[in-house]
Structure 1
């Protein structure tokens, strides 16, 4: 199985208009990718490698600090913003049957300027991450538009359920991840950098600096995902699979431990597009295969399972 590569240049963030013919061409390619694989590489999106590198650099300045300097930004200290903030190594367990994942996280679930943001060594953290959040939001909405065309439905069906991205009425998140060097002598049996899981929302945008990600093929076998310079990896998440009555598929993926002797850290940036908290997700075809659920209710259910034993 190969993950398709689609040129999104006709509808990139640098272009204001796109023709019906260009939309039709992209929609056919995305439909094939999302119905057969669940993942696609998009190139020429308008988001540059330089933008990604700025986010990685700013977040690394935060992660390499001693834990006592990161603790004030712990997700447990943002009671009014669900799961916003720093998550320490082994706190998250994406596969509940395995040990905690060997990664640190900073979740940006709010871009409001009046919350507490990292400063000091990470003084540019707020500006860089807020800007990138908004860029990912705009690209995601363009992808949703093309996806709607591919299904023959009004794009407003998807867009109207994502009106409040970036506010307290929506739980979409920009997540920056730091996978520290691994000491193979201290790794628990079966432990991974990121356990097997599917994503929870509508679609996910992934920017990664190194290989290590694996995606499950229809055969059940996990395949290695390459790095394609300049391309963004995008996948279908659970609520979109429910929304499309399994036409688009949400696929399990994971991040393995590095090979023995590889002491390099790994970084990635992920944007999770999630429907508005009160948006009711029902099957587009009118069936009742999946019961209606709001974006927030489904997210809470999945996140509680992820964190309940940590």
Structure 2
């Protein structure tokens, strides 16, 4: 199995006039990828590797600070959005049967004016993360329109469920991730950098700077995801699989420890798109395979599994 690569140039952020033929062609390719593999690389989206690198560079400045300087920005420190903020090393277990993941992250969930942002060593943190959040949001809406087209649905059917992205009424998150060098002598049994999991919401966009991600194939074996600078790796998340009555598939993935003796850190940035908290997800084909659930209730259930009582 290999992850398909699609040239998204005709539908990129730089394009305004898109022909019906281009729409049919791209939506067909996306549907094939999302029904067979669940992941796809999009090239020429309009988001450049230079943009990605700027976000990762400023986030690394934040992560390399002492914990006491990061702690004021901890997740659950912001009244307007509980998921916004810094997640410390081993705080999160995406596979709850494993010890805490060997990674840090910073979640950008809210763009409201009263959010406190890192400064000092990471002086451009707010500007760069806000800009990248908005770019990813715009790109995700283009992908959503094509996904709806591929299923024979109104092009607004998915977009209309994401009206409050960037506010306290939606769980969409831009997440910069930092995997520090691994000290083999301190690693717990069965501990990894990021445990096996599938994503929670609508879809995820990942921009990588280093290899390490593995995706579960239909054979039941994990495959290594190659590094494609400048490309966006898109995958279906669990609520979208539920929404489409399993037509589009959400697939488990992970990041294991680096080989013994490899002292490199790893970075990436991911945009996790979620439907609005109060939007009710029901199967689009009218079936009752999955009971109705709001976007907010679903993501809170998943957060409880990941973070427990922390």
Question: TM-score per shorter chain, which class?
Answer: over 0.9
CA contact (8 A) 2:80 2:168 kept: no
Question: Where does 1:1-310 land on structure 2 (aligned, <5 Å)?
Answer: 1-308=1-308, 310=310
Looking at structure 1, the residues matched to 189 and 247 of structure 2 have their Cα atoms a distance apart, in angstroms, of 36
Looking at structure 1, the residues matched to 168 and 73 of structure 2 have their Cα atoms a distance apart, in angstroms, of 18
Looking at structure 1, the residues matched to 294 and 19 of structure 2 have their Cα atoms a distance apart, in angstroms, of 33
SS class of match (1:94): coil
SS class of match (1:121): helix
How far off is 1:77 after superposition? Answer: 1.5
Describe the superposition over 1:214-264 as per-residue Cα deviations: whole angstroms up to 9, x where unpaired.
000011100000011221100000000001100000000000111111101
How far off is 1:309 after superposition? Answer: 5.5
How far off is 1:113 after superposition? Answer: 2.9
CA contact (8 A) 2:192 2:257 kept: yes
SS class of match (2:169): coil
Gaps of 5+ in 1: none
How far off is 1:76 after superposition? Answer: 3.0
SS class of match (1:76): coil
Looking at structure 1, the residues matched to 132 and 42 of structure 2 have their Cα atoms a distance apart, in angstroms, of 17
- Equivalenced residue count is 310
- Superposition TM-score, scaled by structure 1 size: 0.99
Gaps of 5+ in 2: none
Looking at structure 1, the residues matched to 273 and 83 of structure 2 have their Cα atoms a distance apart, in angstroms, of 15
Looking at structure 1, the residues matched to 236 and 224 of structure 2 have their Cα atoms a distance apart, in angstroms, of 18
Describe the superposition over 1:59-100 as per-residue Cα deviations: whole angstroms up to 9, x where unpaired.
001000000100110113123312110010000000000000
How big is the alpha-carbon RMSD for the aligned residues of Structure 1 and Structure 2? 0.8
